[in-house]
């Protein structure tokens, strides 16, 4: 499956509700943000707290255009927690932190508008 970041792209094909339920999207709070200078594209290393059941997970996120390392701790974000881990250089990214492209294609994080408990599942 090819994923495009083109905001003008056509919608994906229709899927069943069970397909949606197979993607486990949870909310977590960033507890640590670190530089990732060895990444091919500018990115940060994040440690995200998804609550007692899922715990802490690591993610590589290409979010350097809109965020600084100091902006990120304490921010809640949405992430897919049931993809297999992905090796990015020497870093193992365990979750996919979600965002939308701005008008220039730079990532803006998906964040709840009010605080919610870590580990809550998107529905």
Look at residue 4 and tell me whether its pLDDT is greater than 60. Answer: no
pLDDT for res 9: 80
pLDDT, tens only, 80-111: 999 999 999 899 999 999 999 999 999 999 99
Give the confidence band of 7 by pLDDT, cuts at 50, 70, 90. low
Instruction: Give the containing element (helix H, strand E) for 99.
Output: strand 99-101
Instruction: Give the containing element (helix H, strand E) for 100.
Output: strand 99-101
Q: What is the pTM of this model?
A: 0.91
pLDDT, tens only, 18-31: 999 999 999 999 99
Q: Which domains does the chain have, with CATH numbers?
A: 18-109 (2.40.50.140)
The mean per-residue pLDDT over the stretch 47-73 comes to 97
């Amino acid at each position: 499956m090819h994923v495009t970041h083109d905001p003008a792209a056509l919608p994906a094909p229709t899927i069943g509700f069970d397909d949606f339920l197979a993607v486990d999207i949870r909310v977590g709070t960033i507890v640590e943000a670190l530089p990732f200078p060895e990444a091919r594209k500018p990115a940060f290393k994040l440690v995200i707290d998804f609550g007692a059941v899922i715990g802490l997970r690591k993610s590589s996120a290409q979010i350097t255009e809109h965020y600084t390392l100091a902006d990120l701790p304490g921010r809640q974000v949405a992430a897919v927690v049931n993809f297999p881990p992905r090796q990015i250089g020497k870093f193992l990214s365990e979750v996919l932190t979600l965002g939308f492209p701005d008008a220039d294609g730079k990532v803006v994080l998906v964040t709840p508008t009010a605080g919610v408990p870590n580990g809550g599942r998107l529905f």
